[in-house]
Each structure stands twice: as C-alpha cells, then as structure tokens.
C-alpha cells in the first residue's frame, strides 16, 4: 500500500502550486488546473492507493480545472472520479450537465470525456476523491455515464455510510497494512455500487455478495450511531433494516460473531476509550458505562474484565498515568464504515513533508 502526502507549506512559495498540481494529475487524471493565487498556494493532499482504486483527502483554496479532448487522446485511464465535498462549494460540468455541490454532496466525472470544474474557497475547499476503473463496477458505463455531473446527496443512508468510510480510510491510512488493500478496495466499491444502483433503480446489477456487504455496512453504521441506547438489541437492529433476526445472525456469522456479542464489544471499546480520556476524568466509571448502554455497573465491570483482563478502574488508572493498555477486541467489520467518530481530513500544516511516501 502506498500513502503519498503533500503539504505545500513545507515548500518555497513559488514551488507550491506546481507541486500540488503535479501530484493531483499523477493521482487522478491529467487536467489543466488554475488557481486564484498561484504565487502562495497553501494546500494539502493525502492519497491512499488500494491497487487500482485511489482514495484521497484534499484541502485547498479556489481552483478551476478542465480536461480536454487532447488530454484524453494522449492518456485516458478509463476511470471514474467521485468528488465528495465536505466543506466549501463546487460546480462540475460534463455531458452538457452541471452539478452544483455543497457540503455533503458529491458527483461523478468520467476521465474519458471532457469536463470542467470550479471549487470555491470557504475559506478552503475540503473534499474526498475516489478514483476507480470503470471495469470494477458491475453496472455498464452507459448506465453510469447517466450519473456524471449529477448532484448526489450523501448526508443520509448509503451515502452517509460511504462518506464515513472514505473519511476513515484517509484519516487512518498509515494504520493500514498492505495485505488489507484488496479487501478495503472491494468494500469501497461495494458501497459505491450499492449507492449507484439505488440512484439508477438498478438493484439487479448488484451481485448477491455486493448486496450483502452493503447491508452489513448499513447495519454497522446504524448500530454505531445507537450504541449509547440501552434499547439497541439484535431485534431492534433487524427491525430497523426490515430483515429477520435469523437473517441478521446469518450476516454476522461470516464475521465469526453474533449480533449481541458485536454490540457488547463495540460498547466496551467505546468505554475503554472514554476511560483513557483525561478530558472525561470527571465522569464516574458507572456514568461511562451508562453512556454506552450498560445500565448495570456490575454487568459492565464483569464484561470489561472478561474482554480486557482488568477492571475498568485499573484500566483508567493505568491509562491516565501513561501506561495505556493496547489492543481492542475484534469486531464486526461493517463497523469500520461507521465506527468511532472519524478524524476530519487533514489541513495544511498537519501533514508530513512534501512527497513523503510509505
């Protein structure tokens, strides 16, 4: 796996814009890029390569981009580029359509056809980019091209799951192992495929496995958002997704866990994190347990000790005196799509030196 990071503030002012454009063109597809202030371009970019699937987080001032027929003839990766806006605003044009984006919206572009775009400063544009070969989707290019330069709302449902997943991937890129790349790439594309199929009303295009993975991701996201609710039970999760309890058990069997065990372990992990947080020192151990759905302090303490081999009070003492406990219990992989609150995309000044790779 290859992580490439660029913070232009580590470069001389006159080199910043050219370096940022070069990395963008290498990572996504060659385009012409113009900035409102190219003399002192303060921007950052982190690119995570998962084989032929690229995920990136960008923060930058206003830019205008366009891809021409001449550039397409010179080189075309035969890919789609998903532009997902977290802050700022943007306008993307292709195939005679125009998508006006605000935070929580995205749009697709095809590298095989000319396009234009403009990202406006607010004060920076913060976005996630996903580039992938069109051959990796089960839907035909003819179907997908109907969605280019179309505004897609990703604040709810599958779109929100995809947003959380991409944010987490880029934020935790350096924690991931090379062996994880194929699985991470496939999960990313499964989520995107499910979202596009919904938009196209073409669920028949989805393979049974892709539908199953997308459902697991939705379930994981739902459960993570309701961990603090004592009423979160396997039956409640099944009801929220209009499936039977036995179907839910079957979905989680592939993860070698049960719904109840997964809920308990995710709650314990949240408690473990809070106990080690010095800003939450004022909360009692019982209060932290209740915060994540443990109504009984005795039950919370027994469950915590059975998983971590220590009591909540001993863990808090050890963690807050500088010898924190490592590790966390294994869990349902769908939770990665909606796990603990994801760090925000990094901004200029928070990345490693220009061109740093690992």
**Whole-prediction pTM value?**
0.62
> Among residues 182, 169, 179, which one has the least CA distance to residue 55?
169
The answer to whether the Cα torsion of 176, 356, 25, 40 is positive or negative is: positive
CATH number listed for the domain at residues 2-206 = 2.60.120.10
- Full pLDDT tens readout for the chain, 358 residues: 489 999 999 999 999 999 999 999 999 999 999 998 899 899 999 999 999 999 999 999 999 999 999 999 999 999 999 999 999 999 999 998 999 999 999 999 999 999 999 987 656 789 999 999 999 988 888 889 989 999 999 999 899 999 999 999 999 998 888 888 998 999 999 999 989 988 886 545 566 777 787 788 888 878 888 899 999 999 999 888 888 888 899 888 877 889 999 999 999 999 999 999 988 999 999 999 999 999 999 999 999 999 999 999 999 999 888 654 333 333 344 333 333 333 334 343 443 333 444 4
Architecture field, domain 228-337: Orthogonal Bundle (1.10)
- Chain position carrying tokens 């005196």: 321
> Among residues 196, 83, 85, 219, which one has the least CA distance to residue 136?
196
For the chain, which residues make up each domain, given as ranges?
2-206, 228-337
Q: What are phi and psi of 78, to 5 degrees?
A: 60, 50
Q: How far apart are CA 58 and CA 5, in angstroms?
A: 10
């Amino acid at each position: 796996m290859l992580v490439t990071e660029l913070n232009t503030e580590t470069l001389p002012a006159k080199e910043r814009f050219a370096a940022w454009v070069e990395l963008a063109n290498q990572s996504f597809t060659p385009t012409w890029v113009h900035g409102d202030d190219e003399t002192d371009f303060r921007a950052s970019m982190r690119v995570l390569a998962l084989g032929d699937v690229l995920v990136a987080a960008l923060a930058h001032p206003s830019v205008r981009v366009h891809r021409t027929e001449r550039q397409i003839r010179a080189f075309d990766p035969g890919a789609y580029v998903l532009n997902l806006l977290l802050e700022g605003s943007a306008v993307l044009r292709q195939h005679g359509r125009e998508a006006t984006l605000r935070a929580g919206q995205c749009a697709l572009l095809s590298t095989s056809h000319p396009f234009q775009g403009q990202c406006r400063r607010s004060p920076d544009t913060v976005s996630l980019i996903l580039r992938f070969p069109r051959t990796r989707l089960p839907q035909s290019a003819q179907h997908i091209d109907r969605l280019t330069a179309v505004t897609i709302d990703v604040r709810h449902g599958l779109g929100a799951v995809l947003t959380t997943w991409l944010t987490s991937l880029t934020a935790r890129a350096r924690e991931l192992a090379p062996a994880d790349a194929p699985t991470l790439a496939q999960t990313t594309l499964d989520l995107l495929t499910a979202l596009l199929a919904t938009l196209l009303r073409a669920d028949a295009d989805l393979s049974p496995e892709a539908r199953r993975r997308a459902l697991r991701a939705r379930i994981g996201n739902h459960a993570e958002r309701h961990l603090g609710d004592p009423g979160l039970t396997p039956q409640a999760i099944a009801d929220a997704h209009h499936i039977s309890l036995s179907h839910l058990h079957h979905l989680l069997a592939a993860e070698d866990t049960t719904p109840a065990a997964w809920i308990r372990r995710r709650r314990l992990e949240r408690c473990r994190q809070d106990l080690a947080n010095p800003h939450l020192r004022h909360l009692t151990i019982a209060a932290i347990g209740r915060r994540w759905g443990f109504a009984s302090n005795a039950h919370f303490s027994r469950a915590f000790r059975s998983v971590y081999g220590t009591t909540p009070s001993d863990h808090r003492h050890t963690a807050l005196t500088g010898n924190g406990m490592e590790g966390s219990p294994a869990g349902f992989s769908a939770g990665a799509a909606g796990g603990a609150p994801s760090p925000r995309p990094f901004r200029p000044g928070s990345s490693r030196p220009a061109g740093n790779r690992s």
